[in-house]
Amino acid sequence: MRLHSAGYELVICSKSPMEYIELVLKHTGIAEFFMRYYSSEGYVSKTELVREITTPDVPAVVIGDTHGDISAASENGLPSIAALYGYGNKSMLERADYFANIPEEIVECVSVLLMSR
């Protein structure tokens, strides 16, 4: 994970239950790359959770593959990257600031977005 190696703090914010998040992280072997992970269960929306876990003085970028991810970023004034290799398609994610067709494109997008802030 190049973002982790570059010193970025990676956080998962998912609509899935915590048990599922932990299962996927364990199964894929990528848990070590994430500092924290959250389930939006119990929150009114993912927007509310993103608002709670971000702070205005720390730059953040939302990377997502659903309309809810991109909306959560937009409604919290955060830049977003649409992961087009996930569940959503470009028409569903059109409000994103950048689009990544493959995971490797995310690193460059994050750098550009954070340098412009």
1-36 pLDDT, tens digit per residue, is 789 998 899 999 999 999 999 999 999 999 999 999
2-115 is classed CATH 3.40.1390.20 = no
Q: What angle do CA 30, 34, 35 make, to 5 degrees?
A: 150
> Quick one: pLDDT at residue 117?
65
C-alpha distance across the termini of the chain, in Å: 23
> Quick one: pLDDT at residue 2?
87
Number of residues written out for the chain: 117
The three-state (H, E, C) secondary structure of 44-101, written as one string: CCHHHHHHHHCCCCCCCCEEECCHHHHHHHHHCCCCEEEECCCCCCCCCCCCCCEEEC
Query: Measuring CA to CA, which residue among 59, 11, 60 is closest to residue 33?
Result: 11
Sketch the domain layout of the chain as residue ranges.
Answer: 2-115
